[in-house]
Structure 1
Amino acid sequence: MDAGQVTRTEVPEAFDEVAERYDLMVGMSPGYHAQLRASADALLSAIPDAAPVPAGGESTRPAGPLHLLDLGCGSGASTRALVEAVRRHATPGGRTAARPAAVLAVDGSPGMLDAARSKAWPSWVGFAQGRAEALAHQPELAAAREAGGLDGVLAAYLVRNVPDRDAVIAAIRDELRPGGVLAVHDYSVRGQPAASALWTAMCWSIVIPLGWMTSRTTRLYRYLWRSVIDMDSTAELEARLRRAGFVDVTTHHAGGWQRGIVHTVVGRRPADA
């Protein structure tokens, strides 16, 4: 049955319906994985303590691993992008010393987590079920909290889907260490008529029919179209981060055919907060 509309509170359950075929869907989206890699690189680049140490140089960075959170990890595409970014930033050219990392990937959909866990991962990557709205109660963050907080959070295709965006952004801020960085990767077309028209045409002519072909359901993909139309503009999303106390807020825009549609907003928790 493929009736009814998905609400923001029902998003994890809607992803369960398509989890087995979701990788097939995103694999048919040109640029999807490259855009996630670019956002993960933007996150790592904004964390000073993630920078590699030249051979023979002295490091003043904290001891222990870099604590990173992939919030809303889905089937693991964003987690893979984060792992690859850690490796690139740790050893460019193989001439630098790496700070070890610990990546926790969290999602509210059991089906998507099963798909993510089924893949091969380094020993320093872990997965846990949880909703962004309840981040403060996520027990798997205990090690990061004991170390002073998370160094970085990648939230890909998450903020658009939560019931209370301001509350989730504030909850992420509270889990970051002073100076920690948040990267919000998402679709946004508000205030851009050409991008809105392209998004609508793409969804109804390609994405929604492909959703039916791969999963025999279109509920999630109809919700995807509607949620992007309703999403904050990048200026509004930047303002949300600033209201939550983030500083150095900047936006990176995807190129190619999704220019004006996919963006990454990066902000930092103040070092003295």
Structure 2
Amino acid sequence: MTLREAFDRGARRYDLMVALNPGYHRELRRAAEALAERLGGAPQNLMDLACGSGLSTRALVDAAPPGSRVLGIDASPGMLERARAKRWPVQVGFERGVVGELNVERWGGGSFDGAQACYLFRNVAEADRDEAVAEVFDLLRPGGWLCVQEYSVAGSAAARRVWDLVSHAVIIPLGVVVDRNPGLYRYLWRSVVDFDSVATFVDRLSRAGFVDVSHRTATGWQRGILHTFVARRPEEAR
């Protein structure tokens, strides 16, 4: 089973699974607010990359200036089906796309005021991550902002221990009982273990040309495990 197929299979129960994670929705709201507070008060043109079933999109729509256009993009048709089935303002839409393989001209290179990417880049092969980050850079207008929310435990033994414990004692067993899709949740555990350290990902953002890069960690049990990165495309292109 491919990763896309695993997400397709898990789409029907995905919202229920994440609802069992204390703080999941709170941290999505914090990420969306971190992006929105850096935007102007006028309606914005925004992207929600790896939008999944639309939970991150909802957080972004709620935080963005009223009337903002939000385009959700995801690789999983099953997740997109769940997202489209929800009620949205008319200026919200969803389309399929794979970050790292997007046609930047088709999506409107340099035309987005902001982009949000929650739980995206650890699902991109390490060899392709720099290109994926650069692709998002090219989609943003000069002066546009990117907000990334991602799990990272590399370089922190304490964070790794907590992540391993929670994954094997809670997340993977729930994936068996609730979703009957343990392969997806074992993958999610491993993808976090294998992902960049915070410093490595900050370096990726800088190499792509982003400036004003900042980072903060989550609260609660996810402290030191879940991180939010904010970065800006300079006013002048690379």
Match among 6, 13, 24 for residue 16 of structure 2: 24
Seq. identity, %: 52
Q: Distance in 1 between matches of 2:212 and 2:46?
A: 19
Secondary structure (helix, strand or coil) at the match of 1:36 reads helix
Contact 2:104/2:139, CA 8 A, preserved across alignment: no
Q: Distance in 1 between matches of 2:201 and 2:38?
A: 18
Contact 1:208/1:218, CA 8 A, preserved across alignment: yes
Secondary structure (helix, strand or coil) at the match of 1:73 reads coil
Per the normalisation by structure 1, the TM-score is 0.83
> Structure 1 residue 161 and structure 2 residue 123: aligned?
yes
Q: Any gaps of 5 or more consecutive residues in structure 2?
A: none
Aligned residue pair count: 235
Q: Distance in 2 between matches of 1:12 and 1:245?
A: 30
Contact 1:69/1:150, CA 8 A, preserved across alignment: yes
Alignment of 1:54-203 (within 5 A): 65-86=43-64, 90=65, 100-136=67-103, 139=106, 141-142=107-108, 145=109, 148-163=110-125, 164-203=128-167
Q: Distance in 2 between matches of 1:176 and 1:240?
A: 16
Q: Distance in 1 between matches of 2:165 and 2:91?
A: 41
Contact 2:100/2:129, CA 8 A, preserved across alignment: no
Counterpart for residue 190 of structure 2: 226
Aligned-partner residue type, residue 34 of structure 2: A
Secondary structure (helix, strand or coil) at the match of 2:185 reads helix
Runs of 4+ with >4 A deviation: none
Match among 198, 201, 215 for residue 237 of structure 1: 201
| TM superposition shift of 1:156 | 0.3
Deviations 1:7-65 (A, max 9, x none): xxx43221011111111100100000110110011111122xx236xxxxxxxxxxxx4
Q: Any gaps of 5 or more consecutive residues in structure 1?
A: 1-5, 53-64, 91-97
Counterpart for residue 51 of structure 1: 41
Structure number, greater radius of gyration: 1
| TM superposition shift of 1:138 | 7.3
Deviations 1:196-215 (A, max 9, x none): 00100100011001001112
Per the normalisation by structure 2, the TM-score is 0.95
RMSD over equivalenced CA pairs, Å: 1.4
Contact 1:135/1:172, CA 8 A, preserved across alignment: no
Q: Distance in 2 between matches of 1:258 and 1:165?
A: 24
